[in-house]
Structure 1
Amino acid sequence: MIALPIPVFTALVLAFLGVKAARAGETPGMVLGFVALCAGQSLLIALNQHYGLTALAPVQPVTACLIPGLAYLTLLTTAVRPLHVWPDSVHLVPPVLAVAALVGAPALLDGILTAVFSGYAALILLRTSGPVEGLPLTRLEHGDRVILLWRIVALTLFGSAFSDIAISVVFALDQAWLRPWIVSGYSALFLLTVGLLSLSDMLKMPEATIATPDRTGTDAAPPVTGRANLDAIDSHAHQETAEKLKQVMEDTRLYLDPDLTLRRLARRMAISEKQISSAVNSVYRENLSRYINRFRIEHACQLLLEGSSVTAAIHASGFNTKSNFNREFLRVKGMPPSIWLSLGN
């Protein structure tokens, strides 16, 4: 029986899933690139640690420094905005620092790796610290689960930073023989976890970013003073926006679009993304994702009452997956679809 080192197995799994996703044509190029980097890094570890190609050892920390930055850029392009030469080119700094350390100060390399991984982990957590409306390219069907996905990615980056610390401790205790096991075992687990998360259906088909009209200065309200006046004006504006949003939903049934995002909705209504999300939070006391999914569930219920199957109702109501439908149905109706139907609704 052929025995494969764990990093080789990880590389093969990621390569297979990456090719499969690429052939399906629904996964963004940035995500595929990130998965390819994870697969390549795992293979590089295997060649260095298990097959004696030690000439590749200097390459390993440099490519490792690319992973956290590319993870963050993947978050940006799938959930926030497209890439820009500036400021996004700054994310090339970590691998450049790694090369400089290899050439001039090898002792600093472990510290650089730890700082890069923990720094990007903190940056991802910061970017996902707010509500899902802060990720305007995210499909509204997925709601807060996208935030959870990226927070798990951030935690795995923190874990990788701690593995670098563990390696330093091993050397300090004169137990250097443990280093290959730590590198191979944890790195394979980290790369496999991050790679699989990146291939989640929640990161498929991000909407191309088109600038939302800036209405500042065109609809500006007259100057007002006093906290009470400002609150009254905000409340009135939120109510107007909420009513307009409800009218758009009823007239156009945009909620039936499974790829609906906050960015697309804002363009359709010619209102800023922030204004829409603030109005929904203020008037309906829930986030936009839940608000849209409520319309979808009501539409699905109508289809079920008319005799549609659950599967047909799911896809005709703007949901991509049965799990999302079941979760939202339970939240809105307080019971699973099967029980709801059995009660003769």
Structure 2
Amino acid sequence: MSQFLITGGAGFIGSALVRFLLQETTHQVVVVDKLSYAGNLASLAEIKHHPDFAFEQVDICDRAALDRVMAQYQPDRIMHLAAESHVDRSIDAPIAFVETNLVGTYHLLEAARHYWQKLDSIRQKEFIFHHISTDEVFGDLPDSQAFFTESTPYAPSSPYSATKAGSDHLVRAWHRTYGLPVVVTNCSNNYGPYHFPEKLIPLMIINALAGKPLPIYGDGGQIRDWLYVDDHARALYCVVSKGKVGETYNIGGHNEQRNIDVVLAICALLEELAPQKPAGIAHYRDLITSVADRPGHDQRYAIDASKIERELGWRPQESFESGMRKTVSWFLTHRTWWQAILDGSYRLERLGLNDGR
């Protein structure tokens, strides 16, 4: 049994990882999350009473609070997912991305380094700092035959991806300079249950059910590699358990899709699973609307995930079709979860989470 400290554990990917750890392993988990707009305690509701779970409402920019949490819980594994992550928000208000993704990662690295240096030699060898990043740090892929590999040069296009790239560099520098044992993963676009409604797939599902327009940037020809979030959680556990210190692993879903095709797939599933449409709507696809493209929009991302398969034995279990069906079905049967986000009431809920074991 190990003690896992998960930053951003009330977010989309973080909560999927926490649920996986507590439902599929015997490890203990403490979540550190400041509960910004994207942090949602309802995403942790099914494991909130688990005896091996604890929650700490802490901002990773608060070094004193981080020191306290590490001293109290004595983690063996730190998995860092706390980040501002929405590209459009980063264009409108980049300072929050600089503060969380860069300054916050710095404070977490320093807290982890000082904590690790005080461990005995056996626990030092067992300790790992796992930094979870994105394929967006690599920028655009104009060549339709190319893929991002672990050695692809960084070329971020947005304030979001630039600050994530900076955080990746900080983590590697703390390994090179101080010897902090780290691994880094860069993942493709995630989707699945508990996905915050501002992102493409949940936004399209929710808007379609309400009979609202389905806005697509430009012609919708942008290509992304889609990774089902539970597959990502399994990959993260694989890397933190078996990955080699100092290495980077790309995690992809082997599912390249144009944005327009993603939306059309959602519409087709809704025709089957939610045939009772809002008044005046003949077909869900009729709601698709083209809007002006966003500044600096990358055309294509695609991950070469052969390294993690070859060295650690991980492959995604879900195809795009099976994962999308699960996702649309989940949003249809969990309306209370996303309606609470739309009306803002989710930020008032605290669900009686314990502050310590």
Q: TM-score scaled by structure 1?
A: 0.25
Query: Structure 1 or 2: larger strand share?
Result: 2
Query: Structure 1 or 2: larger helix share?
Result: 1
Q: Give the structure with higher Rg (CA).
A: 1
